[in-house]
C-alpha cells in the first residue's frame, strides 16, 4: 500500500511540476514546448491512474484494503493535479489566442 501510495505521489508530483513549467513556457509564447510538457505530464498522470486503478480493482473484488493517510494524500494530489491540468490547458489556449 505504501509503495503504491508513493508511486502515486511521485508520478503526480512530476506531472504537477511539468504543468507549471508548461504555463511559464506558454507565457513566454513557447507553445510547442508548453504543449510537449502538458503531454508528458499526461503520461505521468496515466501512470498514477494505473497504480490507483489497481487498488480500486482490488477493493471492487472484495479485498479489504487498510485505511492509509498516505494513500488519502496521494489521491488528493492526483485529483488536484487533474484539475490543474485542465486549467493549464485552458490557460495555454488563452495565451495562444491573445498572442496573435
49 in catalytic set? no
- Whole-angstrom CA distances from 34 to 45, 62, 76 are 16, 42, 25
Q: Which residues, including other chains, have CB under 8 Å from residue 33's CB and lie 6 or more apart?
A: 22, 25
49, 50, 52, 73: the catalytic one is 73
The residues annotated as belonging to the active site are 73
Amino acid at each position: 500500500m505504501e509503495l503504491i501510495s508513493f508511486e502515486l505521489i511521485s508520478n503526480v508530483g512530476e506531472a504537477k511540476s511539468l504543468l507549471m513549467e508548461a504555463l511559464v513556457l506558454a507565457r513566454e509564447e513557447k507553445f510547442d514546448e508548453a504543449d510537449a510538457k502538458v503531454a508528458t505530464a499526461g503520461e505521468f498522470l496515466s501512470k498514477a491512474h494505473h497504480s490507483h486503478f489497481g487498488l480500486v480493482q482490488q477493493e471492487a473484488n472484495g479485498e479489504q484494503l487498510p485505511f492509509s493517510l498516505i494513500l488519502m494524500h496521494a489521491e488528493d494530489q492526483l485529483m488536484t493535479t487533474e484539475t490543474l491540468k485542465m486549467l493549464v490547458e485552458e490557460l495555454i489556449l488563452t495565451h495562444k489566442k491573445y498572442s496573435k
